[in-house]
Amino acid sequence: MRILTLVPGGIGDQILFFPTLDDLKKTYPDAQIDVVVEPRSKSAYRVSKSVHDTILFDFKGSNSLADFGNLLGVMRDREYDIAISLGQRRAVGFLLWLTGIPTRVGYGGGGGDLFLTNAVRLDQDQYAAAMYHDLLKGLGIDKPCPELAVSVPAKDLEWSDNERKRLGIQNGGYVLIHGGSSQLAQMKGIDKIYPVESWKAIIQDFQQKQPDLPIVVVKGPDDGAFVANLLQAAPKLKVTAPSNVGELVAMIAGASLMLCTDSAPMHLAVAAQTFTLALFGPTDPDKLLPKSDRVVGIKSPTGNMADISPQTILAKVWGG
């Protein structure tokens, strides 16, 4: 059996879709599961244990008829038995219909459901991973959404061991901070960056209460300016720069606490089962975090990240 899933969105969306992929694999253990994904998000599948291959397609780009034709050709050539579409665009639904894939599952009510064989009701008032997992109801799979889980390559675990030695933190826990934001979010003006001065207040409190506890900041591809500003405010910080998602997960898994903003690393921290405090501006934590005693979402009272006080965060850290 061959199964195709179409998952538009960033790395965070892919991680949230992992439980759906994992349950597909459990239900059809001999199936080959492929995913159509945007180029910016392909790297997420480095830590997926259920996907066979990734097919690149820029869902949000200005695609020509030739682009759609190339994707159609790939899907036809591979003769998929089932297709599951996360998006609701009419053009994508029509494309799936043209493939001749016998079972086509997606959300109803978006215009593209005319081309589906099995439409599923879209329930947006729940954790996003559970919302995605509802698509399996179109295949008669009706069970609770499992927890996020990742599979980290051995060489990425080895890299993280060496990185902790380099940073001098191999013998104990550490606090990991990820406060940057993707370039796309910044271009769209989405408020996901917590002010450096507020981070400084939090770091100073940690250094006063736990002077021997290392604090490490993650420097991602788009985080150069944020990390540079943070180092000016707190020069004793340690900096790690994982080169891929697997290395990042491995560093997160070794941390005692993850402090982060609403981002893909937040979802990776959930999957790694690391204690996590996540900061939210305009978005709703209940839609992006599971109910868990390991994860706490702190939402701005105004919708602006800057209006979350350091004292509010530190109260959660120290149990006040």
Find, among 82, 114, 119, 88, the residue nearest to 100 by Cα.
82
What are the sequence ranges of the domains in the chain? 2-139, 154-318
Which one, of 244, 279, 241, lies nearest residue 263 by Cα? 279
Taking only the tens place, the pLDDT of each residue in 53-104 is 999 999 887 888 899 999 999 999 999 999 999 988 888 889 999 999 999 9
The predicted model gives 292-314 an average pLDDT of 95
CATH architecture observed for domain 2-139: 3-Layer(aba) Sandwich (3.40)
Q: What is the pTM of this model?
A: 0.93
DSSP reduced 3-state for 19: helix
Provide the pLDDT confidence category of residue 207 given band limits of 50, 70 and 90. Answer: very high
> Which amino acid, 273?
Q
Contacts of 69 (CB under 8 A, 6+ apart): none
Same CATH fold assignment for domains 2-139 and 154-318: yes
Q: Could you tell me the CATH superfamily of domain 154-318?
A: Glycogen Phosphorylase B; (3.40.50.2000)
Rounded CA gap, 131 and 85, in Å?
13
pLDDT level of residue 190 (50, 70, 90 thresholds):
low
268 pLDDT band, cuts 50/70/90, is very high
Among left, alpha and beta (phi > 0; psi -120 to 50; other), residue 288 is alpha
User: What is Dmax (Cα atoms) for the chain?
Assistant: 64
What local confidence, expressed as pLDDT, does residue 192 receive? 76
How far, in whole angstroms, is CA 147 from its chain's centroid?
A: 13
